[in-house]
C-alpha cells in the first residue's frame, strides 16, 4: 500500500477526475484516457443508497480498475457506516479514503483504521454541515474535502457559497502551521470556477462531467483545470 498524499505537495494543483461521469461500459478505457490526459489522481465515488440516495460501486470494481492504472485511487465513501469496510477497500487497491463526518462510525477509529491499512485519510462534510466540525481532526488527516454540491449524483450545479468553507479551512491550516494537509473540492468544477476554488485555497480538484464530456476531449479538460495552478501560487 502507498500513501500518495504524503508525497504530493499541497502547493501543487492536482486534478482528480471522477469516474462517476465516465462511460461505465468502458471503465478501463476511460481510466487509461484520464491517465494519458494528465490526471494526477482518480476519484472513485462509493455510495450505499442509504447515506445518499444513490448506489454506485464497491471494492470488487475498484480491484478490477486497479489493474488498468498506476494513478493514486482517491476513494470517497458516502456510507452510513464506513468503518467495517475500510479493510475491503484497502485490499481492493485504494490509496486514499475520505469519509463523512456525518457518518455513524467513530471518526477517530475510522481515521486510525485507514492509516493502519497503509492509506492516507480524509474527512468531508455535506453542504449543510458547519466547516468548524472538521477543525478538531485537521492534524489527523491528509486531506479535507469540501462538497460544492449535495453528495449523491454527478452533473449538479456548482455551489459557490461553499468556497467560504475552503477559505476558513485554509486560514485554520495556516494558523496552525499545517502545510501538508490538502484541501479538495468536489461538485460542478470546470474551467469557469476552478480559479475561484484555487484562490480560496483548494488544491485538489475533482471534476467529472467537465472532464469526460468536454467538447475538446479529456486532455484539454484536464489542462484547463491545471491552469489554476498560477492562482494557487499567487
User: Which residues are marked as active site?
Assistant: 45, 186
Q: Residues 65, 63, 114, 197: what is their CA dihedral angle, to the nearest 10 degrees?
A: 10
In the sheet that holds 182-186, the strands lie side by side as 14-17, 204-207, 182-186, 143-147, 120-125, 96-100, 73-78, 42-47
DSSP 3-state of 182 = strand
Question: Around Cβ 150, how many Cβ atoms within 10 Å?
Answer: 14
Q: Is the dihedral of CA 59, 60, 64, 65 positive or negative?
A: negative
Distance CA 166, CA 197 (A): 8
Q: How many contiguous H segments (helices) and E segments (strands) does the chain have?
A: 9, 8
DSSP 3-state of 19 = helix
Q: What angle do CA 129, 40, 37 make, to 5 degrees?
A: 125
DSSP character at residue 21: G
Q: Is the dihedral of CA 6, 37, 55, 88 positive or negative?
A: negative
Question: Around Cβ 50, how many Cβ atoms within 10 Å?
Answer: 11
Amino acid at each position: 500500500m502507498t500513501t500518495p498524499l504524503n508525497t504530493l505537495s499541497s502547493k501543487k494543483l492536482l486534478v482528480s477526475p471522477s469516474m462517476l461521469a465516465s462511460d461505465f461500459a468502458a471503465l478501463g478505457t476511460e481510466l487509461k484516457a484520464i491517465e494519458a490526459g494528465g490526471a494526477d489522481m482518480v476519484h472513485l465515488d462509493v455510495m450505499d443508497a442509504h447515506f445518499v440516495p444513490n448506489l454506485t460501486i464497491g471494492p470488487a470494481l475498484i480491484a478490477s480498475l486497479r489493474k488498468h492504472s498506476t494513478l493514486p485511487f482517491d476513494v470517497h465513501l458516502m456510507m452510513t457506516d464506513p468503518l467495517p469496510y475500510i479493510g475491503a477497500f484497502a485490499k481492493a487497491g485504494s490509496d486514499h479514503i475520505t469519509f463523512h463526518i456525518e457518518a455513524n462510525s467513530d471518526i477517530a477509529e475510522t481515521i486510525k483504521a485507514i492509516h493502519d491499512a497503509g492509506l492516507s485519510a480524509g474527512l468531508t462534510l455535506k453542504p449543510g454541515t458547519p466547516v468548524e466540525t472538521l477543525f478538531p481532526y485537521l492534524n489527523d488527516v491528509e486531506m479535507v474535502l469540501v462538497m460544492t454540491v449535495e453528495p449523491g449524483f454527478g452533473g449538479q450545479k456548482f455551489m459557490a457559497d461553499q468556497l467560504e468553507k475552503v477559505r476558513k479551512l485554509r486560514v485554520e491550516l495556516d494558523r496552525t502551521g499545517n502545510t501538508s494537509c490538502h484541501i479538495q473540492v468536489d461538485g460542478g468544477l470546470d474551467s469557469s470556477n476552478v480559479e475561484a476554488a484555487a484562490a480560496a485555497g483548494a488544491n485538489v480538484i475533482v471534476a467529472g462531467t467537465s472532464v469526460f464530456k468536454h467538447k475538446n476531449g479529456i486532455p484539454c479538460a484536464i489542462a484547463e483545470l491545471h491552469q489554476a495552478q498560477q492562482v494557487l501560487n499567487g
